[in-house]
Amino acid sequence: MSLPTGPVALPDAVAGLVRGADVTPVWQNLLGGVTVRLRGGPDDVDRFLRWSPTGSAPDVDGEVARLRWAAAWLPVPRVVDAGRTPEGTWLLTEALPGRSAVDPAWLARPAEAALALGRGLRRLHDALPVEGCPFGWDTDVRSDDRPAAQALLGGRPPDDRRVVCQGDACAPNTLLADDGSVTGYVDLGRLGVADRWADLAPACWSADHNYGPGHADLVCEGYGVTPDRERLAWYSALWHADG
């Protein structure tokens, strides 16, 4: 995934959702997915529009259900519209305050950002109730039809603490205020109950990837846990096998 360096093309299926707003590319990936920010328009409300080619993102209906469930406890985007065509799916949400943890302002403060990422993940895990959560993210759900992940299951570490995981706890999916407090969480399409290291592993990997080597342990420090190398390695391998 990367920040776009120029204009991005939106398919005809979502062109009508732009409705005269100013379009700013925000994110794109190698599978053809793209996210843009829509400023202004008829109702003058800032929004984000994500387009995902078929098969490149979690089921949009499931993501909408997760966003609406999590909204009772955490700041998450309000869903405005969502839909699908044979070519892909879209999700239109209202913008939240704050900046992505990979905004240039945070890339210039990497240690603070990594600590904030850990604190934010701990807040999410503490806030969302495991009991009554209708969504799961255990290895049996994640590894379906993925031979690389299936091969890992025999050595799965025992659970440390069961929580409701974000499902993609990488730095771009956490929004921060200037003081490092979390203003929102995005990309909750895989949210579900699992061991907390299933989230900590991609968060730590992302810190080293986005901020430079040596920042993963700061995520654990911000979270308030001693790095568990075995669980970090195992869940990181599973996360990469998931694609």
Which residues are marked as active site?
Answer: 168
Closest CA to 169 of 138, 204, 213, 209: 204
- By the 8 A CB rule, do 190 and 167 touch? yes
Work out the widest C-alpha separation in the chain, in whole angstroms.
Answer: 55
Euclidean distance between CA atoms 106 and 100, whole angstroms: 8
Q: In degrees, to the nearest 5, what angle opens at C-alpha 25 toward C-alphas 19 and 31?
A: 110
Q: Which residue has the tokens 């771009």?
A: 172
d(CA 64, CA 85): 16
